[in-house]
Structure 1
Amino acid sequence: MAGQTGQVLSAILKEIERGGLNPGDVLEEAPLMAAHGVSRTPVREAFIQLEAVGLIRRLPRKGAVLFRPTLEEFLAILEVHAKLEGQAAGLAARRMTPAQTADLEKIVCACEAHAQEKGDGDPDGYYQLNLRFHEMVALGSGNPFLVEMIKTNARKLLAYYRARYRYPGSIARSAKEHRELAALIADHNASEAEARMIRHVQFDQVTVMDLLAALG
């Protein structure tokens, strides 16, 4: 049963990260049961786990709805998420291995190439590169508990970060900031890497309101 629950849970999380599920989308039990060839119990157990970390809100006898934050909730989550990402960057500047640093350089180059070759085009493609960049920085922190906390918070905001790249100039700006962050990490400048990452992942309140309206 645990394996079936994990199968359903993993599939839902992948859809959130891929952009197949967005805030406010309804998750119904029957389609999930059919898609994964499982009974209702593993689906409900997966829902319980998702609800425990705040990713869904269950509906009586219907299924669940993917978490869609209010403005106040968004800003509160973002405040915590920015600090976690910043801490990861600071730790990565102290702990990232040479092999990890080389891998980070590759993804930064991929981000720069995307920005140069495609401009504002293919925001979803750039979003996937951005996910990989942040994942590599988090892994470079050498703290698996911090990595999981970042993933949990990030999944509540992924749709909004994805939508952010549809704004003109945002991809080029992001790629430039990735380069700056990678340089600080490679130079072992922990305090500046932490502060720079916090600024990198923040939104101003006007942008937040625009994104909430766009995905509402």
Structure 2
Amino acid sequence: MAGQTDTIIDAILGDIESGTLNPGDGIDETALATRLGVSRTPLREAMIQLETAGLITRQPRKGAVVFKPSLEEFLAILEVHAKLEGQAAGLAARRLSTDHAKELERIVVACEHHAATKGDADPDGYYQLNLDFHRIIAIAAGNPFLLEMIKTNARKLMAYYRARYQYVGAIADSAKDHREIATLITARDAEAAEQRMARHVQFDQVTAMDLLAVLS
């Protein structure tokens, strides 16, 4: 039963990460159970765990829906997320291994190549590169508890970061930020890396309002 519950959770998280499920979307539990070949009991357990993590909510007559923050909630989550991502970058600067340094350089080069050759095209493709960039840094931080906190928080914001890359110039700006952050991490400048990463993941209130409106 536990294995089925994990399978359901992984499927829903995968749909959130891929953009198949967006904030406010309802989750068709019957269709999900059929698709995965599971019974109602592990499905209920999966929904309880996701609700406890704040990734779904229960609404009257709609059932389970993907968490959709208000402006105040969005800014509050973003504030915490910036701190977590910043901490990861600072720790990565102190603990960066040779293998992680190579991985970080590889993904930064891929981000720069995308920005140089595709410009604003293929924002979804760039978003996947962006996920890899942040994932590598979180892993390089060497703190599995911090990594899980970042993952949970990021899933509440993924749709908004993905939408951000629809804006003109956003991909080029992001790739430039990635190079600056990677340079600080490889230079072992933990304090500067933490501050730069925190600025990188933040949105101002006007941008946050725009993104919430796009996905409303």
Normalised TM-score (structure 1)? 0.98
Conserved 8 A contact 1:88-1:146: yes
Q: CA deviation at 1:29?
A: 1.4
Conserved 8 A contact 1:5-1:46: yes
RMSD: 0.9
Q: Following superposition of structure 1 onto structure 2, how do residues 65-76 of structure 1 map, counting pairs within 5 Å?
A: 65-76=65-76
Residue equivalent to 2:175: 175
Q: Following superposition of structure 1 onto structure 2, how do residues 41-190 of structure 1 map, counting pairs within 5 Å?
A: 41-59=41-59, 63-190=63-190
Q: Would you say 1:209 and 2:209 are equivalent positions?
A: yes
Over 4 Å off, 4+ runs: none
Residue equivalent to 1:200: 200
Please give the per-residue CA displacement for 1:104-144, whole angstroms capped at 9, x wherever unaligned.
00000000000000000000000000000000000010000
Q: Would you say 1:21 and 2:21 are equivalent positions?
A: yes
For the residue of structure 2 that corresponds to 1:154, the secondary structure is: helix
For the residue of structure 2 that corresponds to 1:188, the secondary structure is: coil
Q: CA deviation at 1:160?
A: 0.1
Q: CA deviation at 1:96?
A: 1.2
For the residue of structure 1 that corresponds to 2:27, the secondary structure is: strand
Q: CA deviation at 1:42?
A: 1.0
Q: Distance in 2 between the 1:7 and 1:184 partners?
A: 38
Q: Distance in 2 between the 1:194 and 1:152 partners?
A: 20
Q: CA deviation at 1:59?
A: 3.6
Read off the aligned partner of 1:80 and give its amino acid letter.
V
Aligned residues: 216
Q: What runs of 5+ residues in structure 2 fail to find an aligned partner?
A: none
Q: Distance in 1 between the 2:162 and 2:62 partners?
A: 28
Q: CA deviation at 1:58?
A: 1.9
Conserved 8 A contact 1:47-1:58: no
Normalised TM-score (structure 2)? 0.98
